[in-house]
Amino acid sequence: MRLILDANEYIFGLNELSGKSGSIRLIHEILPRLMDEIEDFSLLVPETVRDEVQRSIDRSLLSDFYRLVTSDPKILYGWLYEVPPELLDKYVAKGLKPADAAIAAFADWFEADFLISDNRHIYEQLKVDEFVTCTAAEFMDLVDSGEIGESGLRGE
């Protein structure tokens, strides 16, 4: 299973004072569990997400972000320049802002199963067959219900 988190999940999830309990639980509980339980699990970190986190996260939390994204060999970096421009155009044509379209194109190109974001432009407006878009809370509901477990996404 391949998973991408939008920058807001890292920004809110690493800040225990953010009040975003879904993002906090996702970062501190669910991600480590999935990395331990699912053999073919990968957390993909596009450089555009990394850059946004660097610009937006409280400086006191930046080392926590880098500690997280370098903590496991199942966490992989990817570069937007590898994504064909026509994929970016495809998601811009769906009405996404260029930054959101870049993350969606990355998810498509790197064959992500899930793109998790609390950005309503992504989780509400982007419905595609290539990957599932959802909020942290929706994703955790799938994990808690057993839809996602040791062997990845059930039914695949």
Cα 74 to the chain's mean position, in Å? 14
Calpha distance 57→100 (Å, rounded): 18
Range of the domain at 136: 2-153
> Phi, psi (5° rounding) for residue 76?
-120, 140
Whether the Cβ atoms of residue 48 and residue 102 lie closer than 8 Å to each other = yes
The arithmetic mean of pLDDT across residues 91-107, rounded, is 90
pLDDT digits (tens, 9 = 90+) for 47-80: 999 999 999 999 999 999 999 999 999 999 988 8
Residue 155: is its pLDDT beyond 70? no
Task: Count how many domains the chain has.
Answer: 1
Q: What amino acid is encoded at 124 in this protein?
A: E
Q: Return the CATH number at 108.
A: 3.40.50.1010
Quote the CA–CA distance of 39 and 47 in Å, as a whole number. Answer: 24
Give pLDDT tens digits for 7-56: 999 999 998 776 667 889 999 999 999 999 999 999 999 999 999 999 99
Global pTM? 0.89
Mean pLDDT of the chain: 88
